[in-house]
Structure 1
Amino acid sequence: MLIVSLSPLRSDPRVLKQINLFRDKYDVVTCGFGAAPDGVSRHFEIESGLPSWPRDPKRLLQRQYRQVYWNIAAVAEAYRLLRGQRFDAVLANDANTLPLAMSLDAVHGVHADLHEFAPKEHYNKPAWRILVAPYVRWVCRTFLPQARSVTTVSDGIAEQYGRDFGVAATVVTNAAPYAEKVPRPTGRPIRLIYSSAGQRYRRIEDIISAMDAASGELELDLIVMPNEPAYVDELRRQAEPLPNVRFREPVPYDQLVDTVSEYDVSISVIPPTNFNLANALPNKFFEAVQARTAVIIGPSPAMQALVERHRLGAVTEGFSAAALRKVLQELTPEQVDGWKQNAHRAAQELSSEYQNRGWERAVDALFAAPAQMTR
């Protein structure tokens, strides 16, 4: 079984969950950037830094999409490595692996796992929207119906794939592995944690601004990846005058739950600046549950449904600094302790072991189905 993703596999949480789920059941081969993940039988390493999306504006404008795809450097390298290999099944991660996966003629076909709604992934960038989005829609329209099954990360995104491309995608959330933890009593000051990629469209400055008038009863630590270094520097300067706001260095994925468990509340307010963020159900939400930490979220539908169903924390009225500040000013240790206990009760159901059964059912169904005709 091949698991392919044009990402650094050893640091891609969703792909690592797939590998861990299947490596003891199937002979798992991987293809992606970086060194081999633990426990796989063979790995085809794509040179790090090769582009995985098109950089061919002339052909994009001319809608020569097949040539565009096969001239993407990472795709061409992956095809060179995998050509002539025979696989029983392929688990293809994201739309940019779909044509490659289909070209391999796996005996039992392809399962597609889509981490975002691909046609709107960078829709806030005009050049991407004009040139790349039509190409991505072509990829999805042409190759998604060829997949024997499809999963994605949230109900809203699954519904959009169904409306636009006629595929019945099921949901496998970005849940974290179950952690044997118990809630830590909440004291004073109440300790808040916010972790995120350092991207301007996430409006992290609003999280910091919400602490402007906070009393000594609250402390906020931020873990921000340096995706956009100049922006992260701006955030650090913004936080300098605030004695109860600090930055801490990023930690490896396998240490995140332990890190978050040092805190009382995880903030996961994600402004809907694009379609995928509007429908987000992110890793950090589930890491907070496994850490037995309460959550404060914005009114994002996918997260709000789980927060309200399991009573995991508070939902702000909007995505502004003022809306978050209002919730923070009303926090009490007793309230937070109640949310932590609810997270403890929900941790099993919201773990990856429970959620990942969707992948297991889909891949088992591939192997149970008759071999498909190869081209």
Structure 2
Amino acid sequence: MVANITILCDFDASKRPRPARLIAMLKEIHTLSVIAKECTPIAGVRSFSFPALLTAKDRTPAQEQIIKAHCQNGAFENLIFTPNRLCIREHLSSLPPQQLLIVEDITLLPFALEYRARYKETKVLIDLREYYPLEYEDNKEWLASFGLFFQHLCEVYLPQVDGALCVSEGISRKYYERFGVQSLVFLSLPPFFDLTPTPLSSPIKILYHGFVSPDRSSTNLIEFAQKLPSDYTLYAMVLSNQPEFFRSLRENAPGNLVFLPPVSLEEIVPFSNAFDIGLIPFFPTTFNLAHCLPNKFFEYLQARLCILSTPLSEIGQFVSQQHCGVCAREFSVDSLLRALTSLSREDILAHKHRAHELAHTFSMECNITKIRHIVMELLGF
């Protein structure tokens, strides 16, 4: 049965892996609409846009103080129903009654619940992409402002949803323990690509792609590269929302740390296929990092790379069970290097071929059946 479904995103949905893939999986069956901040038009989908707010780096000290005062005084509706978002109501009203609203950012959950209050048959499904109350837990200023805001959203609005997805077991468990919300773990799997493992390079090519920032211990990339044996090269295809940090990273990089221009979301997997090892260098500096099972992990797998990771709990469990790489014993650069050099060239190639065996099982195509079942069960089809 075809349903009317709208996805709500507080960012451009087409440029974030998880919502972009959710759209791709649902639009072939259901009548799909997307309401997103600065939304890029999406083929086969009714797309609606709302403007962005000022980011933290663009706000004045006075504007920052107003936000902090709202948070500390409990005036959270001023941060939810902001002028730029009010057109979400109009966009929803322009559509026929929706059977399902999927919320990709908890800041927009109140709009979905407001809609459900008018249309009693509508269901609300939220995708918990991280543990929001600790999103920037290493920043005391954030904890004293937006941290309170996200805590409020989770306490007041989250228990009202009809269903929830989550990115990992650890984060799912935390939401249940703290807010009583049960969620289904829905892995962030990329589309299947008909690729084969490439022959091992010389020197061996290690790839890290994604964001770099201080909370991700990204300066460790420099130490890691400095200590790499001569038969390895580290490539970084990265973005950052902290220009000065990124500039410093590049300026201090040794010659065997090569920075690459980012490619589009659709190109990440085929581009990565030319490398040998996919690196997950995170330390458990935050709750979300400690329990991450990120997009890049499954993109490395789909690209037929050997996985090299720090001993993060869920990544370590996956790598151990699936025999697709190696994890360090400790959270240190030296331990990560020891794990790397424990692998022979034959070991790396074997892990690349194991990734090839796993590529279809851990692809978006296998997620399609799961998300269709979740939607049908939620709607009572």
TM-score (norm 1): 0.92
Amino acid in the other structure paired with 1:66: E
CA RMSD of aligned residues (A): 2.1
Cα distance, 1:25–1:327 mapped onto 2, change above 3 Å = same
* Counterpart-to-counterpart distance in 1, 2:24 and 2:311: 33
3-state SS of 1:220 partner: strand
Counterpart of 1:169? 183
Counterpart of 1:200? 214
Cα distance, 1:45–1:200 mapped onto 2, change above 3 Å = same
3-state SS of 1:251 partner: coil
* Residues 176-195 of structure 1: pairs in structure 2 closer than 5 A: 176-195=190-209
* Residues 20-39 of structure 1: pairs in structure 2 closer than 5 A: 20-39=24-43
Deviation at residue 216 of structure 1 after TM alignment: 2.4
Amino acid in the other structure paired with 1:28: L
Structure 1 position 113 matched with structure 2 position 117: no
Cα deviation code 1:306-334 (max 9, x no counterpart): 11111111101223221222223333211
Amino acid in the other structure paired with 1:95: I
3-state SS of 2:330 partner: coil
* Counterpart-to-counterpart distance in 2, 1:304 and 1:60: 38
1:268 to 260, 271, 280: 280
Counterpart of 1:298? 310
Structure 1 position 18 matched with structure 2 position 22: yes
Counterpart of 1:373? none
Counterpart of 1:287? 299
Counterpart of 1:209? 223
Cα deviation code 1:166-200 (max 9, x no counterpart): 11101011111111111112142111111121212
Cα distance, 1:88–1:50 mapped onto 2, change above 3 Å = farther
* Counterpart-to-counterpart distance in 2, 1:258 and 1:41: 26
Counterpart of 2:92? 82
* Counterpart-to-counterpart distance in 2, 1:148 and 1:358: 17
Counterpart of 2:169? 155
Amino acid in the other structure paired with 2:86: A
* Counterpart-to-counterpart distance in 2, 1:132 and 1:81: 27
Counterpart of 2:114? 103
1:259 to 256, 268, 271: 271
Counterpart of 1:127? 141
Cα deviation code 1:215-234 (max 9, x no counterpart): 32111111110321111111
Structure 1 position 92 matched with structure 2 position 96: no
Counterpart of 1:58? 69
* Counterpart-to-counterpart distance in 2, 1:275 and 1:17: 25
- 8 Å Cα contact 2:201/2:275 also seen in 1: no
Amino acid in the other structure paired with 2:88: A
Counterpart of 1:337? 349
* Counterpart-to-counterpart distance in 2, 1:132 and 1:207: 30
Cα distance, 1:301–1:259 mapped onto 2, change above 3 Å = same
Cα deviation code 1:196-218 (max 9, x no counterpart): 21212112221221222333211
3-state SS of 2:209 partner: strand
Range 154-163 or range 316-325, more displaced: 316-325
Counterpart of 1:349? 361
Deviation at residue 108 of structure 1 after TM alignment: 2.8
3-state SS of 1:211 partner: helix
Amino acid in the other structure paired with 2:142: W
* Counterpart-to-counterpart distance in 2, 1:14 and 1:130: 29
- 8 Å Cα contact 1:298/1:316 also seen in 2: yes
Deviation at residue 73 of structure 1 after TM alignment: 4.2
Structure 1 position 47 matched with structure 2 position 51: yes
Deviation at residue 346 of structure 1 after TM alignment: 1.3
* Counterpart-to-counterpart distance in 2, 1:269 and 1:104: 42
Structure 1 position 223 matched with structure 2 position 234: no
Cα deviation code 1:12-60 (max 9, x no counterpart): 1111111111111111011002344423442211124556999622222
- 8 Å Cα contact 2:193/2:270 also seen in 1: no
Deviation at residue 362 of structure 1 after TM alignment: 2.1
Cα deviation code 1:65-104 (max 9, x no counterpart): 234322x344334234434643221011121121111111
- 8 Å Cα contact 2:133/2:147 also seen in 1: yes
* Residues 322-333 of structure 1: pairs in structure 2 closer than 5 A: 322-333=334-345
> Which runs of 5 or more residues in structure 2 are unaligned?
none
3-state SS of 1:181 partner: coil
Range 320-329 or range 15-24, more displaced: 320-329
Identity %: 24
Counterpart of 1:372? none
Cα deviation code 1:97-129 (max 9, x no counterpart): 211111112533111111111111111111221
Cα deviation code 1:338-360 (max 9, x no counterpart): 11111111112211222354432
